[in-house]
Amino acid sequence: MIIVSGSASKSLSKTLAHEMGVKLANVESRRFPDDECYVRIHDNLDGEEVIVVQTSYPDEKIIELFLLQDAVREFKVEKLVTVIPYYGYARQDKKFNEGEPISAKTLARLISLSSDSLFTVDIHEEKIMDWFDIPSKNISGMPQLGVYLKNLEPDIIIAPDKGAQDLAKIVAEVVDCDWDYLEKIRIDGENVEMKAKNLSVSGKKVAIVDDIIATGGTIVRATEHLRSQGAKEVYAACTHGLFAKNALPRLQGVCHEVISTDTIENEASVVSVAKEVAKAL
Ligand code: R5P
């Protein structure tokens, strides 16, 4: 077994290789002068079971993923398993308006073309898993976030909306504390509001957990809401830290700590999903 890492998932691939006790292939990935992608695998993969690990974000990493899958297929491999730590385009999981594509489905179809199976982490919508033409599994990053948060000793775990309540439940079970959820109303892509809801957070240490932090609007509003009800400390944790539009420093200004996993690698990714991925593989 050998891991082929894409450039978006180098750190996670290294941790995963260590966790599984398998080799990391020597992969070259660079850009041509016109910015097209070039990849080359400097190991002979004949007869190997190969795990390609690459987050499908931002767009250029998707092309790199396809090229890596095909580079692997050029060898006579035993099996090709694709791990997509953060599955980009998952939030366009339906036609919101006539004339739109279902982007999450488009990507699922294309990824399935060159792979024997697929693993991803905390996919935004579980139904997307049915759109792969190959066996697929969605892994939860929440248990590992729970292990990290337990050390911070929060009194309560809060989901910023009802849709994320299952995530809060998993984390609260690991931390061994209470959980609840806020009621979010999305105004547009960047703006959300929180419906008034009384929570027992006064004087408490609170950790908000969500699958994705994108612009950070959700966490900012949730933090304001919790503070207005007397929360003493507010932490924000997510699986996928997209941190669009400079969201990370903005959030670090309002929360005690911002935590994400290594499905998207950045300075907040202090929790690794490698253990859970290794277990699933
Ligand atoms: C939405 O359903 C997701 O779970 C996240 O709450 C959302 O993507 C966060 O977006 P933002 O950080 O832009 O508010």
To the nearest 10 degrees (0 to 180), the angle between helices 217-228 and 247-254 is 10
- C-alpha to C-alpha distance for 39 and 247, rounded to whole angstroms: 31
Residue 107's nearest CA partner among 65, 68, 73 is 65
Q: What is the DSSP string of 20-46?
A: HT-EEP-EEEEE-TTS-EEEEE-S--T
pLDDT score of 195: 84
**Confidence label for 196 from pLDDT (cuts 50, 70 and 90):** confident
Cis peptide before 58 (omega within 30 of 0): yes
The structure tokens listed for 281 are: 């593989």
Residue 199 neighbours by CB under 8 Å, 6+ apart: 156, 158, 180, 182, 226, 229
Assess whether the C-beta atom of 218 lies below 6 angstroms from ligand 1: yes
Ligand 1, atom 1, lies closest to the CA of 212
Q: What is the pLDDT of residue 6?
A: 98
Question: Is 275 in the active site?
Answer: no
Summarize pLDDT for 83-107 with one digit per residue, the tens.
Answer: 999 999 999 999 999 999 999 999 9
Interval 208-257: pLDDT, tens: 999 999 999 999 999 999 999 999 999 999 999 999 999 999 999 999 99
Q: Is the CB of 241 under 6 A from ligand 1?
A: no
Q: Which two tokens stand for residue 175?
A: 């931390």
